[in-house]
Amino acid sequence: MQAKIKQLADYRGIVSDAIIDEIGVKARELKGATVVHVNATNFGGGVAEILDNLVPLMNDIGLRADWRVLHGVPDFFEVTKKFHNALQGQDLVFDDQELQLFKFINEKFARFAFLDHDFVIIHDPQPAALVQYVAHTNPWVWRCHIDITHPSAQAWSFMEPFILDYQRMIVSAEEYKKPDLRIPQQIMAPSIDPISPKNMDLSEEVIAHYLDQYRIPTDKPFITQVSRFDPWKDPEGVLKVFELVKQQVDCRLVYCYNMSADDPEGVKIYERMLATAKPYLDSGDVLFIRGDDPVLVNVLQRTSSVILQKSTREGFGLTVTEAMWKGTPVVASNVGGIPTQIQDGVTGFLVEPLDLDGCAEKVVALLEDTDLAARIGQQAREYAREHFLITRHLLDYLNLLLSLK
Ligand code: UDP
């Protein structure tokens, strides 16, 4: 596949000229401004996906954008995954050693990462404490990508003093705003890049080549969930829904997964799922496919009859957007950022996370009615075009930076 560095002009024809022109005007006002994004991994998960696309484009339009990855160690990532889970609502308790390790890794990184850019954007909880270890007068923004509506009390009371040191907090949906937080908060939806290898159009030849190379049979329809092996993505639930669907329509399940450097839970859950799904893996009706190649993910999202996203919590759910953009109908849980993308019955189907029968019923309806699937898919694509492409996101960032100047 021919790789090419993207330019803003490449998006003409995909999005409106008006947005490209507005980006051009705002970018001129910020020409040469330095901005740094800091997160905890350069691979795996939605944040890395976004930065990988957004940072080069910021540079193309004249900013001087930088991306730093916090240097963690395995024990630190155990603690930060625990924070992730506690902030998303699990009842977990941290001991002093864990809290000290969290602060120590942040303090150490602050000693060798110079974050004296005009704007500093810190993503998610892992590097959130940096704000207290770097003396600064420049604006710092905390960009929180997870669902923090019901955090465990200890996790939030530990994290809140760091958050209060930021100029602004950004979340993905209205309900994530904290009513009593003493700093300004705003919403910014994430985005996908329509011309990245993950989302670009693919020829029939490329699709056939990938299906063949990864031995994905097409003699029956398949449904897919693309997700890390994470408890919030409910892999067990995905399997149960598949069992219910299969009683009515002969099909396969593809679970496309990758591992993220800052998520140590993945391997354990993968091993558990290997045991749980063994009979289906042996019969070839369930395939666990490692999705490190973005073109493979693209192929799966395009060729699946239905995309599932059975999460029990979901900050936003880029996998939903990715499928919507490809015109593949999505059945997803009515949680977190998913309902900002899916209007039930219009741009996909929403189901309650515990309602396995309801979820299976929607999947079956889409498998049996190709007109319905095509209509939902087409509506989803147009909704994604309007709301969740990278150009809108880039413009949101320009507006944010201008408001912080
Ligand atoms: N992803 C991938 N390969 C996989 C599984 C996931 O490339 O096997 C990508 C997926 O396409 C999406 C991102 O990882 O771009 C996941 O983002 P999302 O917001 O859905 O969930 P997160 O992992 O951030 O909780």
* Dihedral angle over CA of 365, 371, 377, 381, nearest 10: -160
Helix (H) or strand (E) holding 121: strand 119-123
Calculate the average pLDDT of the chain: 96
pLDDT tens-digit series, residues 250-268: 999 999 999 888 888 999 9
**184: pLDDT strictly greater than 60:** yes
The mean pLDDT value for 181-204 works out to 97
Over residues 223-249, mean pLDDT: 97
Give CA–CA dist 182/31, Å, rounded.
31
Please give the structure tokens belonging to residue 52: 């990988």
- The backbone region for 74, taken as left when phi is positive above 0, alpha when psi lies in -120 to 50, beta otherwise, is alpha
| Nearest atom within ligand 1 for CA of residue 290 | 8
Go through 49-75 and write b for each residue having 16 or more CB atoms within 10 A of its CB, e for each that does not.
bbbbbbbebbebbbbebbbbbbebeee
Q: Give the pLDDT score at 310.
A: 98
Mean pLDDT for the stretch of residues 85-94: 96
Separation between Cα atoms, residue 405 and residue 387, nearest integer Å: 26
| Residue 260 CA to ligand 1 centre (angstroms) | 9
Binding site membership of 254 for ligand 1 (Cβ less than 6 Å): no
The first and second tokens of residue 168, run together, are 């602004």
- pLDDT band of residue 159 (cuts 50, 70, 90) is very high
pTM for the whole thing? 0.95
State the distance from the centre of ligand 1 to the C-alpha of 136, rounded, in angstroms: 33
Whose C-alpha lies nearest to ligand 1, atom 25? 45
* H helix intervals, 203-234: 204-213
1 has a pLDDT exceeding 70: no
The CB of 322 under 6 Å from ligand 1? The reply is yes
CB-based contact 160:154 (threshold 8 Å)? no
Residue among 288, 304, 318, 328 to mutate when testing ligand 1 (max atoms within 8 A of CB)? 318
* The pLDDT value given to residue 45: 87
Please enumerate, as own/partner, the contacts of 128-136 that have beta carbons within 8 Å and a separation of 24 or more.
128/159, 128/162, 128/163, 129/102, 129/103, 129/162, 130/38, 130/70, 130/106, 131/162, 131/165, 131/166, 132/106, 132/161, 132/162, 132/165, 133/106, 133/107, 133/109, 134/110
With CA atoms as reference, report the closest residue to 313 among 73, 192, 78, 152. Answer: 152
Residues 70, 156: Cα–Cα separation, whole Å: 21
pLDDT band of residue 164 (cuts 50, 70, 90) is very high
**Model confidence over 118-153: pLDDT tens digits?**
999 999 999 999 999 999 999 999 999 999 999 999
Mean predicted confidence (pLDDT) in 73-96: 96
Ligand 1 pocket, residue 258 CB under 6 Å: yes
**Ligand 1 centre from 135 Cα, in Å?**
34
Q: Is the pLDDT of residue 2 over 80?
A: no
The radius of gyration of the chain's CA atoms, rounded to the nearest angstrom, is: 21
Distance from the alpha carbon of residue 223 to the mean position of ligand 1, in angstroms = 17
CB neighbours of 84 closer than 8 A, spacing ≥ 6?
A: 124, 125, 146
CA angle 91, 255, 301 (to 5 degrees): 115
Alpha helix ranges (H) inside 229-314? 235-246, 265-276, 278-283, 294-303
**CATH topology for 204-387?**
Rossmann fold (3.40.50)
- Domain edges within the chain: 8-191+389-404, 204-387
Distance 241 CA to ligand 1 centre (A): 20
Q: Is 49 in the pocket of ligand 1 (CB under 6 A)?
A: yes
CA of 398 to the centre of ligand 1 (A): 25
CA 287–ligand 1 middle distance (angstroms): 18
Q: Is the pLDDT of residue 339 over 60?
A: yes
Residues comprising the chain, all counted:
405
Check whether 249 has a pLDDT greater than 90.
yes
d(CA 314, CA 272): 22
Matching residue, tokens 């309007």: 386
Domain 8-191+389-404 falls in which CATH fold? Answer: Rossmann fold (3.40.50)
Q: What ligand 1 atom has the least distance to the C-alpha of 257?
A: 8
CA distance 25 to 15: 16
